[in-house]
């Protein structure tokens, strides 16, 4: 399937989707958070059956989180296997909630658990949002931009960093 044709089809089926083709067949789609499930299932039916990664970016100045889904295809000898769809949905930072994509992609479970633990995003529909990596609880989820690692270790371990010593 041709990439331009696919893009046209997405634009026809879904309104409010902003799409842009980057270098090396990377298609960037900006969608509303309510649309993600529909678009992901549409893409899966069109051959994009490999969810490579779910990521999260903390845009603290805009007061938003951006959930990023990266999809590609397992079809060999097809243009789609070289194409990556980078689908991005913005959610508010105050009340970070989004639908889980578990009904569509089975391997999303652990990515969602990781983002829940490190960013505090709640994935509705994922019943296994239990801690994955971390040992203790943090007031601010540690991968958020307002969590300062230096400040935290200073307060928690009561130690002064050698870097600061040198600055004095």
Partner 1 sequence: MIEERELELFYGPQHLGMVGNFSITLKVEGDKIIEAIANPGYLHRGFEKLMEYRTWMQNFPLVCRINVIEPDSIEMIYAMGVEKVAGIEIPERANYIRSIYLELARVGSHLFGLWAYANMLGFDTAAQWAMYHRDIILDLFEELTGGRVYHIYINPGGVRRDFPKGFKDKIVKTLHAIGGCIPDYDAAFFNNALFYKRAKGIGAITHKDAKELGAAGQVLRATGMKYDIRKVEPYAAYDKVDFDVPTREDGDAYSRIWIVRDEMIESVHMIFKLLDMMPEGDVWNRTPNPLKWRIPEGEAYVRVESSRGELGLYLVSNGEDKPYRVHFRTPSYTHGLPILEKLLKGANISDVGNIMISLYIIAPEIDR
- Rounded CA gap, 43 and 9, in Å? 11
- Rounded CA gap, 140 and 138, in Å? 5
161 binds partner 1 (CB under 8 A): no
112 binds partner 1 (CB under 8 A): no
SS3 (DSSP) at 157: helix
Stretch that binds partner 1, among 5-13, 32-40, 103-111, 153-161 (CB under 8 A): 103-111
65 binds partner 1 (CB under 8 A): no
Half-sphere exposure of 131 (CA within 13 A, CB side): 8
Residue carrying the six token digits 């829940």: 116
Contact 73, 47 (CB under 8 A): yes
20 binds partner 1 (CB under 8 A): no
Tokens in use for 42? 């549409």
Q: 93, 102, 49: which is closest to 67 by C-alpha?
A: 93
Considering CB under 8 A, how many residues would be counted as binding partner 1? 34
146 binds partner 1 (CB under 8 A): no
Q: Of the candidates 1, 11, 132, 138, which one interacts with partner 1 according to CB under 8 A?
A: 132
Nearer to partner 1 by Cβ, of 37 and 68: the residue is 68
Indicate the DSSP class of residue 160: -
SS3 (DSSP) at 16: coil
58 binds partner 1 (CB under 8 A): yes
Closest separation in Å from C-beta 110 to partner 1 = 5
Q: Which residues bind partner 1 (CB under 8 A)?
A: 22-24, 26, 28, 49-53, 55, 57-58, 68, 70, 74, 76, 81-82, 84, 86, 105-107, 109-110, 131-135, 142-143, 149
């Amino acid at each position: 399937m041709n990439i331009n044709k696919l893009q046209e089809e997405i634009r026809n089926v879904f309104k409010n989707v902003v799409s842009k083709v980057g270098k090396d067949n990377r298609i960037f789609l900006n969608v509303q958070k309510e649309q993600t499930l529909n678009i992901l299932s549409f893409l899966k039916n069109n051959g994009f059956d490999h969810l490579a990664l779910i990521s999260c970016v903390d845009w603290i100045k805009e007061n938003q989180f951006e959930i990023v889904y990266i999809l590609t295809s397992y079809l060999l000898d097809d243009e789609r296997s070289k194409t990556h769809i980078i689908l991005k949905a913005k959610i508010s930072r105050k009340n970070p909630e989004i639908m889980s994509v578990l009904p569509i992609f089975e391997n999303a479970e652990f990515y969602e658990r990781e983002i829940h633990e490190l960013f505090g995003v709640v994935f509705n529909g994922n019943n296994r949002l239990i801690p994955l990596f971390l040992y203790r609880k943090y007031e601010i989820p540690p991968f958020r931009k307002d969590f300062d690692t230096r400040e935290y270790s200073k307060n928690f371990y009561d130690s002064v960093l050698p870097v600061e010593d040198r600055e004095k």
